[in-house]
């Protein structure tokens, strides 16, 4: 009897809010395909700014309001906690300067997987890409990555409130003329 009563109580709890006896799950978010496309375009714009190491554009892409702590890794694989936009921007400037001082360039190459889901003013995006860093010696470091981003839309457009990117495999060094990277490296 106790087991049956628990099942009845659980079943009643699961059906709270069901209208007219319907057991259909009601959506909790109103997904907006156009907003998702706008967020995806914002992701592509960030890639281009990143490729150009244009810190002014990268900084402008990050929200001043609602920033959520992110984590990045140093070259020694130590996690770095970046709790504010200012900390993230300072860290990125340092990374870009290191690449420039070594005579390198960077390219984020989106692969076939980029997905965004959005409401009218919040978007969640995932992507899989390779980050290519052309070194001063002409070789290219190819590093597979996955990323997750949260964007918000305000009067100033879509801005990044959070992102996290992790390597998904061991970086490889290849020649710049390797067909895997040649089309993307100048």
DSSP helix/strand/coil, 128: strand
Nearest Cα residue to 142 out of 166, 169, 113, 164:
169
In sequence order, which residues have a C-beta less than 8 Å from that of residue 90 and are 6 or more positions away? none
May I ask the CATH architecture of the domain 30-175?
Roll (3.10)
**pLDDT tens digits, one per residue of 58-76:** 999 999 998 999 988 766 6
**pLDDT tens digits, one per residue of 14-43:** 333 434 455 677 778 999 999 999 999 999
The whole-chain average pLDDT of the chain stands at 83
Query: What is the model's pLDDT at position 51?
Result: 86
50 contacts 106 by C-beta, under 8 angstroms: yes
User: Pseudo-torsion of CA 131, 112, 167, 159, nearest 10°?
Assistant: 80
Q: Rg for the chain (alpha carbons), in Å?
A: 22
Query: What is the model's pLDDT at position 148?
Result: 93
Separation of CA 166 from chain center:
10
User: Which of the residue ranges 49-58, 64-73, 147-156 would you say has the lowest mean pLDDT?
Assistant: 64-73
Tokens 């909790």 belong to residue: 28
Residues in the chain: 186
Question: Does position 90 have pLDDT exceeding 90, yes or no?
Answer: yes
% of the chain beyond a pLDDT of 70 = 83
Structure tokens at 119: 């409401």
């Amino acid at each position: 009897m106790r087991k049956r009563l628990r099942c009845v109580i659980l079943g009643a709890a699961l059906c709270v809010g069901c209208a007219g006896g319907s057991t259909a799950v009601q959506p909790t978010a109103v997904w907006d395909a156009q907003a998702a496309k706008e967020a995806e375009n914002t992701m592509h714009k960030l890639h281009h700014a990143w490729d150009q190491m244009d810190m002014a554009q990268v900084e402008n892409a990050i929200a001043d309001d609602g920033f959520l702590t992110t984590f990045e890794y140093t070259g020694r694989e130590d996690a770095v906690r970046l709790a504010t936009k200012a900390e993230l921007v300072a860290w990125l400037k340092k990374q870009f300067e290191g690449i420039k001082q070594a005579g390198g360039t960077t390219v984020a190459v989106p692969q076939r997987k980029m997905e965004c889901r959005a409401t009218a003013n919040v978007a969640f995006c995932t992507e899989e890409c390779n980050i290519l860093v052309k070194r001063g010696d002409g070789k290219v470091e190819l590093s597979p990555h996955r990323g997750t981003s949260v964007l918000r839309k305000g009067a100033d457009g879509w801005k990044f409130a959070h992102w996290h990117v992790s390597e998904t495999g061991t970086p490889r060094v290849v020649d710049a003329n390797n067909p895997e990277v040649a089309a993307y490296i100048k």
